[in-house]
Amino acid sequence: MEKPRHKNIVEFVIYGQNALFSDILTRPGGEKTSYPIPTYEALKGVLHSIYWKPTIVWVVDSVRIMNPIRTVRKGVRPLKYNGGNDLAYYTYLEDVYYQVRAHFEWNYNRPELENDRNENKHHNIAKRMIKNGGRRDVFLGTRECQGYVEPCEFGEGEGVYDKCGTVLYGLMYHGITYADEAVNDDDKNMLTVRLWRPVMNNGIIDFVRPENIGTKEYPDTYKRHIRKMSIKPFGDKHDNFTGLNEFFGGDAGELD
């Protein structure tokens, strides 16, 4: 197994009774069906629930599928936009268990937060939050699918797909690039949707980095600019960024 290339790697398991990584083709009709595997954006959302600051950008490196991919269909009563309830079937994944490897990088679109670029601080807080089960409620794709996180060593234990070889998945939703995390010049000040074709090798899916989606190096990936988007400013003068001051005493040690 390939060794991590970054020093600020975090590794954890995320598991739950159900998960719903909605296939975007099924949503317009009002009924949702989950992809068989988690999306990049869903795992990034898990990391945001564990720990996030606008100073950093989480990059999901790999996910390992540990349990068999099973689905369960449930009848639900979603709310209508014009009031009242409707009837629909949602197809969830059942008994999911994933190992995740990720790291963070600095968000260079936010020069006003340059003084907060302390790698050890953010890395240590993130590891503490994983150990504590996350800083906020963790979900597996959607609000009704509660998730639970614990630290682990990526690759440990036996997974059901460890010897399955290569499994190809069709065109799937990768995620959304918001203006504040755009790397490529053509994505600046834009809201961009990304699509790709994931490949699982012996239970492990290695994600293509968001800025590589839609480039010549990855011809089976696609992106589309949806609309223009401005970057929300953060900082003391906007009264919306406190750093470690939000913790009692302003010391990361208070998290122990």
Average pLDDT, the chain: 90
pLDDT reported for residue 4 = 57
pLDDT reported for residue 234 = 72
pLDDT tens digits, residue range 182-235?
999 999 999 999 999 999 999 999 999 999 999 999 999 999 999 999 987 776
Helix (H, G, I), strand (E, B) or coil at 185: helix
Strands 56-65 and 9-19: unpaired
DSSP code string of 10-48:
EEEEEEEEEE--B-TTTTTTT--BB-SS--HHHHHHHHH
CA distance 60 to 66: 17
Tell me the chain's radius of gyration from C-alpha atoms. 19
CA distance 89 to 199: 28
pLDDT reported for residue 72 = 97
User: What single-letter amino acid sits at 124?
Assistant: N
Helix (H, G, I), strand (E, B) or coil at 183: coil
What domains does the chain contain, in order, with CATH numbers?
9-248 (3.30.70.2660)
Kindly give the confidence (pLDDT) of every residue in the chain, 256 residues in length, as a single tens digit, with 9 standing for 90 and above.
555 566 899 999 999 999 999 998 888 778 899 999 999 999 999 999 999 999 999 999 999 999 999 999 999 888 877 888 888 899 999 999 999 999 999 999 999 889 899 999 999 999 999 999 999 999 999 999 999 999 999 999 999 999 999 999 999 999 999 999 999 999 999 999 999 999 999 999 999 999 999 999 999 999 999 999 998 777 666 666 665 555 544 444 444 3
pLDDT reported for residue 27 = 81
Residue 126 CB-half CA count within 13 A:
25
pTM for this prediction? 0.88
pLDDT reported for residue 5 = 64
In whole angstroms, how far apart are CA 84 and each of 77, 127, 236?
Answer: 9, 44, 43
